[in-house]
Amino acid sequence: MSEHSGLAVACRRVVQIYRGEGGDVVALSGVDLTIAQGEMVALVGPSGSGKSTLIALLGGLLRPSAGRVSVGTFDLGRLSDREISRLRGTQIGIVLQGASRNLLPYASLYRNIWLAQRRAAATSGIALDDPERVLDLVGLPGKGGVLLRDLPPGARQRAALAVGVAASPGLLLVDEPTSQLDSAGRDEVIAALETINAERGTTVVVVTHDTEVGSRLGRVVTIRDGRVGAEGRNGKDFAVVAGDGTVQLPPDVLEEFPPGTLFTIDHAEDGSVTLVVGSSGTAGGGGA
Ligand SMILES: Nc1ncnc2c1ncn2[C@@H]1O[C@H](COP(=O)(O)OP(=O)(O)OP(=O)(O)O)[C@@H](O)[C@H]1O
């Protein structure tokens, strides 16, 4: 294994229900998702669709009500709280929404990185990167002595990424890293994520409302009503077959096919399958 390597992620029929006095909220209702080692993925979707819940499950901050979440060879649902917390300090880096939630504002950047590394070294004993190399990854070379509160917002967000990768995790989870930034700050954050991924092979999963982040990361997974709604890869749209056999279409395509729409299934000799709108023998539309 190389010095750094990414971790694969798999969700199988993942359900998350928040139980509360006012009633239960089904935040995720059967997510099937596979992310390869070293892939970069943007999770997008309307507010309340379940993106943050999914990232919390991938980071072991929540345990699924049903289904299976695995990161590398670890089945997160089977680990003890202690094992999850060790994994989070070493193999999984999480950068929560709002950079300051991840950092000590009155400490220097070095100290913030050092604290994350000390925790990791205490639990895993692994050799850790020189903090200066970590700062290089996020485009903040030579800034180790600066207090967090003195950094401008874009640099603070990149500082949060530096702390997130201080222990060289194989999976980096980031929630809305660009929401408070101007376009220059956003570009620097995206560049930092790309560098982390390119230099360390880290798998990167980002929750975002920012379409630019989605297109730069290459793979865009839309979460809709608590499920994987559709996917885009390098500008191409894909329909997705869910674990229960239903096919999820992108919303703009779905609008053209009201509930009850029939498709004729045509099997060609070369083995390809075409869905044609309308039942055979009736007036119908074109190919789907
Ligand atoms: N701790 C909680 N207790 C109860 N319900 C919750 C809790 N956290 C989230 N929810 C509900 O679960 C659903 C999914 O929320 P989640 O925050 O995962 O969505 P999201 O796609 O990240 O939204 P946003 O883009 O607004 O951050 C919503 O209906 C939300 O109100």
Structure confidence by residue, pLDDT tens digits, 103-125 = 888 899 999 999 888 888 777 76
Is the per-residue pLDDT at 286 higher than 50? no
Mean pLDDT for the stretch of residues 143-167: 93
**pLDDT higher at 93 or 180:** 93
Confidence of residue 4 (pLDDT cuts 50, 70, 90): low
Please work out whether the CB of residue 20 comes within 6 Å of at least one atom of ligand 1. yes
Residue minimizing CA distance to atom 12 of ligand 1: 27
What is the structure's pLDDT at 258? 83
Position 74 scores a pLDDT of: 95
pLDDT of residue 38: 96
pLDDT at 1: 40
Is any ligand 1 atom within 6 A of the Cβ of residue 23?
Answer: no
Fold of 9-232: Rossmann fold (3.40.50)
pLDDT band at 34 (very low <50, low <70, confident <90, very high): very high
Q: What is the pLDDT of residue 33?
A: 94
Indicate which atom in ligand 1 lies nearest the CA of residue 53: 18
The minimum-distance atom of ligand 1 relative to the CA of 209 is 25
- Residue in 218, 287, 226, 178 with CA at minimum distance from that of residue 45: 226
Q: What is the mean pLDDT of residues 95-108?
A: 84
Q: Is the minimum distance from the CB of 52 to ligand 1 under 6 angstroms?
A: yes
Whether 227 lines ligand 1, by a CB cut-off of 6 Å, is: no
Test site for ligand 1: of 15, 24, 51, most ligand atoms within 8 A of the Cβ? 51
Q: 43 alpha carbon to ligand 1 midpoint, in Å?
A: 14
22 alpha carbon – ligand 1 mean position (Å): 15
Across 201-218, average pLDDT: 91
State the angle between helix axes of 183-200 and 153-164 in degrees (0 to 180), rounded to the nearest 10: 20
Domains of the chain by residue range: 9-232, 257-288
Residue 17 CA to ligand 1 center (angstroms) comes to 10
**Whether the predicted pLDDT of 203 surpasses 80:** yes
pLDDT of residue 284: 44
ipTM, two decimals: 0.97
Tens of pLDDT, residue by residue over 223-236, are: 988 999 888 888 78
- Top mutation candidate among 18, 31, 96, 178 for ligand 1, by most atoms within 8 Å of CB: 18
Q: Of all protein residues, whose CA lies closest to atom 6 belonging to ligand 1? A: 18
Whether ligand 1 lies within 6 angstroms of the CB of 48 is answered as yes
- What is the average pLDDT across 144-162? 93
> Which comes out higher in pLDDT, residue 88 or 280?
88
Q: What is the pLDDT of residue 63?
A: 94
pLDDT-derived band at 211 (thresholds 50, 70, 90) equals confident
User: How many angstroms does the Cα of residue 160 sit away from the middle of ligand 1?
Assistant: 23
Which residue has the CA at smallest separation from atom 3 of ligand 1? Answer: 18
Instruction: Please report the atom of ligand 1 found closest to the CA of residue 52.
Output: 22
Least confident of 43-52, 67-76, 264-273, 275-284: 275-284
> How high is the mean pLDDT of the chain?
88
Those residues whose C-beta lies under 8 Å from the C-beta of residue 103, and which sit 6 or more positions away, are 112, 148, 156, 159, 160, 163
Average confidence (pLDDT) over 168-196:
94
18 lines ligand 1 (CB under 6 A): yes
